Structure formats: structure tokens, C-alpha cells
Chains A and B, each alone.
Chain A
Amino acid sequence: MTFHFPTLGDLANSEKYGEPIATHGVPSDRLLRQLEMMMLIRVTEEVIAEGVTAGIIHCPCHLAIGQEAVAVGVSENLTHTDRVFGGHRSHSHYLAQGGALYGLLAEVLGKESGCSKGMGGSMHLYDKASGFMGSVPIVAATVPLAVGAGLAAKKDNRGAVAVTYFGDGAAEEGVVHESMNFAAAFKLPVLFVCENNLFSSHLHIDLRQPSNSVARFAAAHEIPYQVVDGNDVVAVSEATERLVKRARDGEGPGFLEAVTYRWRGHVGPREDIDVGVQRKSDLPLWKRRDPIRRLAESLETLGAVDADWLERRWSAIRAKVTSVWEEAILAPYPQSSATLSRVYANGQLTGGIQA
């Protein structure tokens, strides 16, 4: 018996794909915009990491440093009328979709002015205006919610798509397979985005699954899939474009597997080189696959940027994020009544019922 399933091959090889990315004639202004968004995400998460280290942030923060190209490449193909759902590691998804920087920083600080009114912290983000419908940390939990948003989009018939971000670990949850089956059976406009960073918490995918490519599950559900270098924003964007176009045209769901690597540990600012298979030797190699540096080098070759410009942009972005961060630190916490008043839609304590 033989099986014909996708495998990651060199995409999972830490020694490959270190060169500048191929830009395939994508206009420089778009590439520059993507570069700056990746830089904003990088700097924002570095500031958050510093906040955790300094003891200013208390909630668990799962950082996507090193994975920025996935969210930026995906959101390149989305609008604010699309519906995006994330998980525990979703700062990048939120920012790339257009979620407000201040709202994110105030939220991780637990402030009333945060994007979830200080009720969620890093793991529960929301920005309706940009189409970011919510992220929550139960693994795979938002996958079926996004399928439901896809069902609503199909009923609306206005060409919107629903996007769900999840990781290789989530692919081990049964509900992901229920969701893919449902989306395929009803031809719903859903894009499943698996950020395969090879780890679920501390445990490498080789110790959890018989094959390292999650896209094999898409094949099993007859969902068209693309497997790409997740640290190549152009590759992510082009693959997303193909899948999203099909979905908008009523041809059903798509599955994107973006192979990437997180530079920090599962949670918190540490690099966690003491946990997991080969992380100590792999991390320096994966840092050579830096999605930001690789795009910047491509843009330098095109003559669109130079080292001086890059340095100035890094400084300007850091100054901006720091300024917003300082503003968020000064913001007030939610009032005591918030614990009870946000349980039910009418905003009344215990749903308007007094014992």
C-alpha cells in the first residue's frame, strides 16, 4: 500500500531557505508596506517581551517573533469585511489585519482601553473594525467558529471569506477535522491557515505525528492546499491569493500550510533553547531564515531600500511603539463592575437578575 501525502522536505530543514526571497515582480511599494508591517510586529512583540521581563505585563504572552511573514502575507489578501480568527499566539494576526497597536498594548496590560476592554489580555484579542473577530487560547477552538463565520459569509453572498489561524499542534485536535469536513461538504469560503512552526509547546512535530506536513489532512478532506515557506512573505501572499480567490468565487475552502519557526519559547520572552528537539542547534539556523531580513535584502537588490533607510525605519518604528506603550501604561484599569457587567449582552449584573 502506498500513500501520496505532502511532506515538508526542505521546508523543514533549518539549513535551507536562508537567501533573499524571490519577489516575482510584486511592486516595491507593496513589498515595502509588508516589510514595515513585519517590522512593526517584530518591534511590538519585543516591547511586549521587555514588558514581561520587567514585570509590567502579567498575562501569559505567546510571541510570534520569527513568524511575521505568515500573517502579513495572508492579510495582504484580506479586507476589513473578511472575518479573521486567531489563537493563543495572535499578536501578529491582529496587527497584520489592521488591529490597533494601542488596543493591543493596552490589552496586554489589562487596561480598560484595550482591544478587549482589559478583559482578555494577550490571549483574547478583538478588533471588529478590522475584521479581527477574536482569538482565544483553547487550542483549535476558533477553527469551527471561523467555519461558522464562513457559513454566514456564504449566506450573505457578498464575497467575504473567513480565516482561521492555528498551529501544527491544533491539527491534532479532533474538531479541526470535523471543521474541515464541514467546510468542504458545504463549500464554505474558509481559509485554514496552519502556521507549522514544528513545535507544540516544547514537543517537536516528529514526536507527535507520523508525518510533518499538516496539509495531508487537507488532502484527506479534498480541500485544495498550498504548502509554502512561511518566512517568505511573497510566497505566503501568492498562495493565499490563489486560495482566497477560489473561496470568494464560491469554490469552497482552502488550506495554507506555512512552515515557520518561533524564535522565542512557547510562552514568554525566553528562547527556550533548553527544551525540545534540536532547538539549541536549530534556532540560530532558523534566525538566518529571518523573514524580515530576507525581504529587506531583496528590496536592497531592487534598489528600493538601503541600509541607512532600514536603520532609520527600525528607529522610527521603535519610537512609535514605545510612545504608544507609554501611553497605554498610563491608562486606567477596568472598574470592579466589569467582572459582572460583561457576562451578558445587556451589560447588567448577573444578566439583570438580582437574587
Chain B
Amino acid sequence: MKQTETISYCAAILEGFTYLLEKHPDVFVIGQGLWSPWYVGSTMKDLDIRFGRDRIMDTPVSEDATTAIAAGASLCGYRAIMVHPRVDFMVLAANALVNQIAKWSHMLGGQSHPKVTIRAIVNRGGEQGAQHSQALHSWFAHIPGLRVVMPATALDARDLLIASVLCDDPVLYIDDRWCYEVEEPISAIDVTPLELQGPKVLRKGEDVTLVGSSFSTQLCLKAAGELLSHGISAEVIDLRVLNPIRYEVIRESVKKTGRLCVVDGSWRNCGMAGEIIAGVLESVHPSILLDSPRRITLPEAPAPSSKALEAEYYPSVGHILNEVLPWFRPSKSSEIYSEKGNSHETYL
């Protein structure tokens, strides 16, 4: 029996949309499949019925134009939420995002700001293959002018959506279907402005700093639980906002633990994990490190379809333990993880 009432990640997104549409008549939502639960799950259930199909617009199959249309409306007094039910298809709107939306303020002297939130959904697994499985946040976090937000917890899924939409800058808000069942005790909506938001310590620890975002953060939390059974105290930091990024919280944690492992569901080269390591290392003295930082990322290959390959492809709790436990072999951990068996799936 539950001690307190909880809310799931996907229900929290729906609550965020409901709050925005109720409180802010200038907000509207546009994208493909918004009238169909098949595209966006229960995260937008019945919004079209409740708020009208003028405010919840289902659109032609035109990602590029529709993204820019949302931005254009946002230049004329509206706060638009553009939904890409699958982040892979958002690549078709790269010009709108990278060349127009992200640069609009700067190009025109800071006088005009697209108040548009682009919600993109990561929807992986299930043998969907290379074009239905991507996590492209590292690409977009590279672009100045585009705030990038990735909630890992239910309350963040709601509150960061609200903060994104109420921010006067363009924001890419990425949620992950693998997080949709994550539960959290219910609490009142927190409307802290997005520019004040940043990485957060979700679990305190002393021996190692684990950094993740979105589903990777959930992996870090699970791994921290496992590590504790080995006598290792892991601090877990959730990035939350990937651009512009704040390093203080991560840096202070690494100063304390001396060990950094970053987990990221995107690729390694020029990716978010490498960026976090670099951002921390360039601002601390190397002598504070007890070990070389590690990153756990996707293999340098598109997502495979076959279930057998897919199971090995994505970062897992097992991957994290395999990286972290050897650091503690002589001193803190009498047990070596690999001796317990190689299937990291048991930790998923």
C-alpha cells in the first residue's frame, strides 16, 4: 500500500499541459498526432476535447514548416508548444530550430524572441530500429540560443514543462517514454523560472559522483542503490537543463567525491557525457581526482532492431556498475561485480 499519493511522469506531463492551457490563454499546442493517443500516449489525453482543437492543433505531415509556424506565431503574441512525437522526425525541422529559432534574438539585436517550446519525445526500444530510437540532445545542446531541458522525474516533467513554456526564450524540452511510469510523491506546482533551474543532487553520497539526464538519471539512481550494497556511497546528479549549462553543483560534488562517472543515452563523440567531464575538469585541479573520469554512452552505431542486439545497446545499471566497482576493488569493495555474472540485464 502506498504511504503517500504519487503521480507518474506521463500523468505529470498532462498536468503541466493542463496548467498552462488553463492559466495562460496565449498558450497553444501544435504538432502531429495530438488528437491521437497513439502518438503521445496519455501525456496529452483529451486536451483537444477539453481546450478545443484551435488550441490543440493536429497538423499535416510537415515538421519543418510546422516548427517554424509555431515560432512565427510566437513572434506575434502567443506562446506556442510544438510537439514532435518522436525526436527522430524533428531532424526534418533542423533549419527551423538551428538557423531560425535559436538565432532569431541574436540576429535581430535582442529585440524579438520566439517564445516557443519544442517538445520532442524519445521513444526507443521495441525493435523500432535506427530511425525510431534516437536521443539527439547533444546536437541541440551545442546551439547557443536554444535552451535544452530533459526531465528525469515526474515533478520535473511537469514543472520544467511549465517553466519552459513560460520562458521567453526558445526551449527544447525532451521527455523519454522509458520514464513515463516513474512515480513521485505528488506536490504543488513549482513555477521557478527556467533561467534559475539547473543540475540537482537527487541522492547524496561521498564516494563517487554519478551524473545523468532523463532516463540515464533513473539508471544512476538504481545503480546508486546497488553500489550501496557494496558499501559505496554514490551521489547522483540530474542535469535537468543541458543548455545553457551550470557546472557548480557537479563541480562541488566531484571535489567531494574525487570520482566522476557520466551516463548519457546519446553517442560518445562530441556528446553530452564528454562535455560534462570537460566542463568539470577544466575548472578543478587534477589533484582532486582519485580516478580518471568515465563516461557511459551508446556504442558508436545506430540503434539495432533485433531484440538481442538492442538489449546490449543501451546504457544500463550493469554498465554503470562495471565502470564504478573496479575503482573500489582494493579498498571498499570485496566483491567484484563481474564475478557475480555478466548479465547486466539483471540490474535493469
Interface residues in chain A, defined as those with a beta carbon under 8 Å from any beta carbon in chain B: 83, 85, 114-120, 124, 126, 128, 133-134, 136, 138, 141-153, 155-156, 162, 174-175, 178-179, 181-182, 185, 338, 341-348, 350-355
Contact = CB atoms under 8 A, between A and B. Distances in A.
B105 A120 contact: no
B338 interface: no
Nearest to A350: B244
Contacts of A348: 195
B111 interface: yes
B169 A351 contact: yes
B69 interface: yes
A138 B100 contact: yes
A178 B54 contact: no
A129 to B, nearest CB: 11
B104 interface: yes
Contact of A148 (B68, B99, B110): B68
Contacts, number: 171
Given A344-B145, A346-B168, 7 more contacts: A146-B72, A148-B68, A181-B62, A182-B59, A342-B110, A352-B195, A353-B244
B134 interface: no
A353 B249 CA distance: 13
A116 B108 contact: yes
A148 B95 contact: no
B73 A152 contact: yes
Given A343-B106, A355-B283, A83 B76 contact: yes
B25 to A, nearest CB: 10
Which of the four size classes fits the interface of chain B?
35 or more
Given A148-B73, A175-B95, A120 B108 contact: yes
A236 B108 CA distance: 29
Given A178-B60, A353-B244, A120 B109 contact: yes
A85 B78 CA distance: 17
A115 B279 CA distance: 37
A178 B62 contact: yes
Interface string B187-219: 000000001101000000000000000000000
Nearest to B55: A155
A128 B154 CA distance: 40
Given A119-B107, A345-B113, A148 B54 contact: no
29 contacts: A119-B109, A120-B107, A136-B99, A138-B95, A138-B99, A141-B68, A141-B100, A142-B100, A144-B68, A145-B71, A145-B72, A148-B69, A149-B75, A149-B76, A151-B73, A152-B77, A153-B76, A155-B78, A156-B76, A174-B64, A178-B62, A178-B64, A182-B62, A185-B60, A342-B105, A342-B106, A345-B167, A355-B245, A355-B246
